[in-house]
Chains A and B, each alone.
Chain A
Amino acid sequence: QVQLVQSGAEVKKPGASVKVSCKASGYTFTSHYIYWVRQAPGQGLEWMGIMYPSGGSTRYAQNLQGRVTMTRDTSTSTVYMQLSSLRSDDTAVYYCARQMGAEESPFDYWGQGTLVTVSS
């Protein structure tokens, strides 16, 4: 069965970086795009960016350009999301999600979420 398993919770200081992993299994890793979505405490969902596992290309939300980097390791079917220059308002649960198919298709499988807390 399809699974996306994320790394554990992180606590970081302002200005630091965090790297969250998302390991995919149960399907052909290079056949589906992977998105990152975050959710601040008590808030809604915010799209962060997309990783195209087959070629490794990425596209990021404008408000995170310059601070977010997404990479992948095809040998382990793992996608990584690194966020730098962390601020307190980056405190959120970070999710990876698989896109079902074509460009406008929904996210059919989600990781369990990774809580990142930014605090001095």
Chain B
Amino acid sequence: SYVLTQPPSVSVAPGQTARITCGGDNIGSKNVHWYQQKPGQAPVLVISYDSDRPSGIPERFSGSNSGNTATLTISRVEAGDEADYYCQVWDSSRDLNWVFGGGTKLTVL
């Protein structure tokens, strides 16, 4: 089955740029969605279809996807961005299946 690999943690100082990667075999050929999850809360969609930003999501959030890596970029990081971030793709290669990455804990120093 398809596997998505995320770094367990990323740390960044306030005001700096955070980049969270999501690796997968030829992931550039798939649509990648990103979710933010704060402690005790449900996930929130922050990027869809690689780089689309849903209504209400700050412009500081952006995404890209090419080759074997998709990246969520958070510019001018704020304390409120501290959360777990998950990437998600639809895997139609064998069993129709949604696949989530293992999640990345973003710590704002």
State the A residues within 8 Å of B (CB): 35, 44-47, 59, 61-62, 95, 97, 100, 103-108, 110-113
Contacts and interface: CB of A to CB of B under 8 A. Distances in A.
Interface residues of B, number: 22
A45 B103 contact: yes
B12 interface: no
Contacts, number: 47
Interface stretch (B16-24, B40-48, B67-75): B40-48
Q: Is the interface of B mostly helix, strand, loop or mixed?
A: strand
Interface of B: 31, 33, 35, 42-45, 48-49, 54, 86, 88, 90, 95-103
27 contacts: A35-B98, A44-B86, A44-B100, A45-B35, A45-B88, A45-B103, A46-B100, A47-B97, A47-B99, A47-B100, A59-B96, A61-B97, A62-B95, A62-B97, A97-B43, A100-B48, A103-B90, A104-B31, A106-B33, A106-B45, A106-B48, A107-B33, A107-B45, A110-B42, A110-B44, A111-B42, A113-B42
